[in-house]
């Protein structure tokens, strides 16, 4: 008995995977060959015998790129596309130069990165095991670990798997079942799985011969518990319409533009015949979806190791008539709860919010947010900067963004402080200064939203290191112009040094935008230092931010125009992302007002902004970063009318123009070219929440709240609620029949608030509900 207790204690105290080995398929080598034909997803198996009933059992498990684990034929957990993506291992200089640089992507070296991680999950599987014979199994997909795409993602190696099953029986026996060469492996029926090429299931290959599993090298990353939310099937869509086409195929409309896959039910085909699904979308990236029959009846089938983007699906090869009982659209994304909700009397505004919400969740996968869920699937940090504030105030992204910050920390170059344009790093990720600025911006915005100092404690050093990198690109005049070269090159590489992006009209210069972000990063780093009680650092970085601001104001102020003149940005040779070259202005004055302009210039800058809007017939003239600032800057400088007019437009360029074109999601560019599922323009919607409805944080975590409703245009009522760390905070305001503003607020217990009415009156509010009316 004593021996059993000692063994049980030893296993409980042991580090997970201490005795486990990574295992893979013997037909694979260590390195992934991007030139070789697709290989089947390996399936692993081990049989165990338990001499008594199970008292407790926990399995620690992961696989790269993806895995599913089974006990007695039943999948463990409800997660899909697991684990979360990370920078699993050093790829090495050779991969960058030989496989990536030739494709024209943004090759950089990972030689001096801070680290790498592989994430695992643990599950209580006590009830899944039984006395006697049990079978453990796993299937491993390629994911981003072994993708064949050479442009967007350099592979790390071949698929591999690791597990550690800790069991205690009722008789005191303890067992530690680990992955090793005693496991068996076979070629499975998933004969193709790739993040870009799609998935093919060949049921004829389901009964392959078992072989001895091969022991594989461990990825270079540390094995750590998964810190981000898992992907799950979060919604199931029924077909809105099913239409039979002339060629016998079926067109199915699911009514919304989503990411995930289509599940097929109750079908049977002759052996060798197949069902293939095509998803008509505006860009590439979906790949193939194909099921090849072995002649048997199929109760249901859905893919497992990639996702598609679709509203409609073309079903080819379906036997007989296709009905709604045979097909469903399964929506898949990182499982984050909705914590913010906005609505108002303007139907266009409501529609804009709804389609952006769908865009955002379509792009939340594997613990990161992508730029688009089809063509690139890239975890761009610049898209994060553009949209994170709106996302923080719509979904519970506390763990989601904390995990992503760990990815950025892993990818930071410890010699220079550089943070790449994508994290985990995809060599296809172009970008520039505003991309790496995520390392400084997100921790502070996260802290303001949730009030948790941990995010600043974990990332403060990385913030200061990235600021050190930015400082290395300062010019003699005190402004910043980053000019990174291509790996091994000598000239600045366009796709590493972008500034503003996808403007409606004109592109402001990189020098202007880089300097603005140097100021913003220094300012936020100073604030983080103050919050952490680092007084000397706070003073030093605050002084640095002021120096940058002074240099900005000196260089870019045009006294003759009474305007900030950022100069003309560098256009890509193909004109990608650069606006149409028309209109007046480029959003430079919006950036300047967000920084804060000298008092003697304020009147002139406001007049210039009004002149630009008038010349543009009320349309915005900003790109992804300026648009994120636009509405709040306009309101804070007495131009709420312009904010309403720009947001209420239905012609080009505007969000409303997208809606008029039938958009289900946000687009990459104002003119609708390229991707039509891109969340980066969503930054502009924060105006709905924090200014039009009027709820914002005066202190971190919304422990002190500012209610400041801004009625404008034709909006007669608006409401916004947010689940804060102390509970729900909300506002509802309306203009009553007498033209008076009625405001109802809810302050959660543990918070206080200030209500500022448009008529100039203000109120100090404690916890609870209150109602106030304007005095006129």
pLDDT per position as a tens digit, 8-63: 444 555 689 999 999 999 999 999 988 889 999 999 999 999 999 999 999 999 99
Average pLDDT of span 588-607: 98
Within 8 A by CB and 6+ apart from 489, the residues are none
Report the C-alpha gap between 83 and 64 in whole angstroms: 8
Pairing label, strands 23-24, 66-71: unpaired
pLDDT of residue 15: 83
Q: How many CB atoms lie within 10 A of CB 436?
A: 28
pLDDT of 310 > 90? The answer is yes
Mean residue pLDDT of the chain comes to 95
Q: How confident is the model at residue 577 (pLDDT cuts 50, 70, 90)?
A: confident
CA atoms in the 13 A half-sphere facing the CB of 122: 13
Least confident of 96-100, 440-444, 504-508, 741-745: 96-100
pLDDT of residue 99: 52
pLDDT of residue 6: 42
Average pLDDT of span 76-90: 97
User: Phi and psi at residue 257, in whole multiples of 5°?
Assistant: -95, 105
* CA 406 vs CA 86, 268, 401, 459, 679: distances in Å: 9, 47, 9, 8, 22
pLDDT of residue 93: 56
The two three-digit tokens of residue 49, written as one number: 């015998």
Report the DSSP beta bridge partners of residue 42.
187
Average pLDDT of span 96-122: 78
Report the C-alpha gap between 113 and 91 in whole angstroms: 11
- Residue percentage of the chain with pLDDT more than 70: 96
pTM given for the model: 0.96
Per DSSP, the residues of 147-180 read ---TTT-----S-EEEEEEEEEETTS-EEEEE-S
Q: How many CB atoms lie within 10 A of CB 563?
A: 22
Per DSSP, the residues of 68-95 read EEEETTEESSS-BSBS-----S---HHI
Average pLDDT of span 227-253: 98
Q: Which helix (H) or strand (E) holds 529?
A: helix 510-531
Within 8 A by CB and 6+ apart from 47, the residues are 133, 134, 135, 136
pLDDT of residue 35: 85
pLDDT of 482 > 70? The answer is yes
Report the C-alpha gap between 773 and 730 in whole angstroms: 16
Q: How confident is the model at residue 775 (pLDDT cuts 50, 70, 90)?
A: confident
Q: Are 480 and 489 in contact (CB under 8 A)?
A: no
Q: What share of the chain is helix, strand, coil (3-state, %, to 5)?
A: 30, 30, 40
Average pLDDT of span 494-522: 97
SS3 state of residue 506: coil
- What confidence tens digit (pLDDT) does each residue in 188-228 have? 999 999 999 999 999 999 999 999 999 999 999 999 999 99
Within 8 A by CB and 6+ apart from 62, the residues are 82, 83, 118, 119, 120, 121, 161, 162, 163, 223
pLDDT of 1 > 50? The answer is no
Q: How many CB atoms lie within 10 A of CB 447?
A: 23
Q: How confident is the model at residue 293 (pLDDT cuts 50, 70, 90)?
A: very high
pLDDT of residue 4: 45
Average pLDDT of span 479-501: 90
pLDDT of 414 > 70? The answer is yes
Q: How confident is the model at residue 100 (pLDDT cuts 50, 70, 90)?
A: low
Q: How confident is the model at residue 148 (pLDDT cuts 50, 70, 90)?
A: confident
The rounded radius of gyration (Å) of the Cα atoms in the chain is: 28
pLDDT of residue 223: 98
pLDDT of 332 > 60? The answer is yes
pLDDT of 3 > 60? The answer is no
- What confidence tens digit (pLDDT) does each residue in 157-175 have? 999 999 999 999 999 999 9
pLDDT of residue 574: 77
pLDDT of residue 345: 98
Average pLDDT of span 429-458: 97
The two three-digit tokens of residue 224, written as one number: 């750590």
- What confidence tens digit (pLDDT) does each residue in 655-699 have? 999 999 999 999 999 999 999 999 999 999 999 999 999 999 999
Report the C-alpha gap between 690 and 393 in whole angstroms: 9
Q: Are 743 and 730 in contact (CB under 8 A)?
A: no
pLDDT of 2 > 90? The answer is no
Q: How confident is the model at residue 285 (pLDDT cuts 50, 70, 90)?
A: confident
pLDDT of 520 > 90? The answer is yes
């Amino acid at each position: 008995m004593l021996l059993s207790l000692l063994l049980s204690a030893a296993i409980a105290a042991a580090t997970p995977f201490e005795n486990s080995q990574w295992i893979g398929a013997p037909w694979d080598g260590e390195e992934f060959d991007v030139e070789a034909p697709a290989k089947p997803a390996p399936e692993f198996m081990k049989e165990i015998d338990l001499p008594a009933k199970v008292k407790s059992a926990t399995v620690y498990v992961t696989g790269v790129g993806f895995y599913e684990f089974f006990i007695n034929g039943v999948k463990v957990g409800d997660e899909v596309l697991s684990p979360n993506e990370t920078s699993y291992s050093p790829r090495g200089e050779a991969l960058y130069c030989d496989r990536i640089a030739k494709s024209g992507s943004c090759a950089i070296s990972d030689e001096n990165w801070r680290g790498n991680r592989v994430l695992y999950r643990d599950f209580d599987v006590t009830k899944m095991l039984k006395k006697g014979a049990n079978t453990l199994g796993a299937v491993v997909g390629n994911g981003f670990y072994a993708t064949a795409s050479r442009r967007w993602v350099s592979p790390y190696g071949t698929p591999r798997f690791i597990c550690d099953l800790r069991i205690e029986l009722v008789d005191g026996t303890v067992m530690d079942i680990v992955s090793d060469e005693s496991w068996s492996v076979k070629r499975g029926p998933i004969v193709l799985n790739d993040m870009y090429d799609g998935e093919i299931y060949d049921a004829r290959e389901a009964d392959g011969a078992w072989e001895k599993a091969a022991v594989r090298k461990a990825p270079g990353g540390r094995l750590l518990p998964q810190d981000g939310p898992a992907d799950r099937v979060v919604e199931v869509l029924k077909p809105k319409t099913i239409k039979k086409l002339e060629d016998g195929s079926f067109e199915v409309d699911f009514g919304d533009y989503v990411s995930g896959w289509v599940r097929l039910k109750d079908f049977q085909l002759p052996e060798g015949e197949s069902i293939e699904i095509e998803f008509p979308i505006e860009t590439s990236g979906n790949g193939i979806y194909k099921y090849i029959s072995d002649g048997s009846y199929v109760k249901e089938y859905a893919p497992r190791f990639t996702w598609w983007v679709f509203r409609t699906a073309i079903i080819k090869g379906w036997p007989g008539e296709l009905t709604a009982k045979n097909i469903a659209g399964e929506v898949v994304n990182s499982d984050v709860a909705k914590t913010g909700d906005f609505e108002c009397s303007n139907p266009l505004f409501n529609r804009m919010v709804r389609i952006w919400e769908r865009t955002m969740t379509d792009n939340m996968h594997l613990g990161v947010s992508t730029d688009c869920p089809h063509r690139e699937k890239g975890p761009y940090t610049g898209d994060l900067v553009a949209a994170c504030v709106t996302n923080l105030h719509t979904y519970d992204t506390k763990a989601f963004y904390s995990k992503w910050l760990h990815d950025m920390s892993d990818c930071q170059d410890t010699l220079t402080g550089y943070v790449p344009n994508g994290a985990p790093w995809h060599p296809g990720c172009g970008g520039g200064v505003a991309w790496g600025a995520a390392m400084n911006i997100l921790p502070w915005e996260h802290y303001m939203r949730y009030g948790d100092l941990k995010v600043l404690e974990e990332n403060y050093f990385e913030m200061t290191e990235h600021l050190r990198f930015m400082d290395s690109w300062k010019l003699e005049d005190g402004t910043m112009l980053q000019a990174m070269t291509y790996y091994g090159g000598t000239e600045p590489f366009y796709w590493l040094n972008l500034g503003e992006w996808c403007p409606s009209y004109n592109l402001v210069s990189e020098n202007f935008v880089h300097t603005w972000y140097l100021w913003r990063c220094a300012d936020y780093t100073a604030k983080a230092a103050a919050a952490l009680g680092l007084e000397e650092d706070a003073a030093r970085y605050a002084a640095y931010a002021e120096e940058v601001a002074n240099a900005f104001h000196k260089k870019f102020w045009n006294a003759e125009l009474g305007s900030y003149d950022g100069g003309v940005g560098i256009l890509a040779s193909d004109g990608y992302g650069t606006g149409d070259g028309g209109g007046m202005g480029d959003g430079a004055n919006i950036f300047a007002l967000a920084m804060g302009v000298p008092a003697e210039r304020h009147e002139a800058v406001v007049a210039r902004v009004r002149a630009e809007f008038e010349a543009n017939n009320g349309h915005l003239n900003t790109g992804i970063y300026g648009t994120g600032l636009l509405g709040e800057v306009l309101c804070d400088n007495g131009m709420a009318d312009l904010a309403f007019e720009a947001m209420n437009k239905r012609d080009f360029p505007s969000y409303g123009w997208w809606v008029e074109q039938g958009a289900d999601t946000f687009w990459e560019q104002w003119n609708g070219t390229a991707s039509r599922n891109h969340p980066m323009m969503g930054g502009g919607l924060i105006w709905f929440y924090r200014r039009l409805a009027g709820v914002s944080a005066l202190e971190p975590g919304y422990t002190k709240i500012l209610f400041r409703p801004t009625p404008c245009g034709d909006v007669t009522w608006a409401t916004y609620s947010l689940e804060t760390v102390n509970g729900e905070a909300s506002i509802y305001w309306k203009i009553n029949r007498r033209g008076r503003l009625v405001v109802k607020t809810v302050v959660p217990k543990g918070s206080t608030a200030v209500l500022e009415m448009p008529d100039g009156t203000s109120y100090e509010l404690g916890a609870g509900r209150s109602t106030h009316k304007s005095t006129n």
